Structure 1
C-alpha cells in the first residue's frame, strides 16, 4: 500500500520525511500508521484533466 507520510519517521535502515510517499510498509503496518494519524493512503487513480487547445491564429 502506498502511503504519504504526515510526519517524519525513522527506523533501522530508513528515514522518511513529511510529505514523502513510500511503499515500504506491509498492509497491517500501513493501516496502523494511518489509524495513528502518521500517514494517509495515496490514491492510485490519477485524474486526467482536459486542456483546451489555443484558437487558430487568424491573420489577414
Structure 2
C-alpha cells in the first residue's frame, strides 16, 4: 500500500519527511502507521486528457 507521510520517520536504512510517498512498508505496517496518524493513504491523481471527437460524417 502506498502511503503519504504526515510526520518524519527514520530507521536504519531510510528517512522519510512529511509529504514523502512510499510503498516500502507491508500493508499491515502501513495500516498501523495510518491508524497512528503518522501517514495517510496516498491518492493518485487522475489526469484528465483531452480526446478529440471524430468528425461528423457528411453525406452528399
What TM-score, normalized to structure 2?
A: 0.74
Structure 1: gaps spanning 5 or more residues: 51-60
Root-mean-square deviation (CA, aligned residues, Å) is 1.6
What's the CA shift for 1:39? 0.3
What's the CA shift for 1:46? 1.7
Question: Partner of 2:7 in structure 1?
Answer: 7
1: CA distance between counterparts of 2:19 and 2:43?
14
Question: Partner of 2:19 in structure 1?
Answer: 19
- How many residues get paired? 50
Structure 2: gaps spanning 5 or more residues: 51-60
What's the CA shift for 1:45? 5.3
Larger Rg: 2
Question: Partner of 2:42 in structure 1?
Answer: 42
Question: Partner of 2:28 in structure 1?
Answer: 28
What's the CA shift for 1:44? 3.5
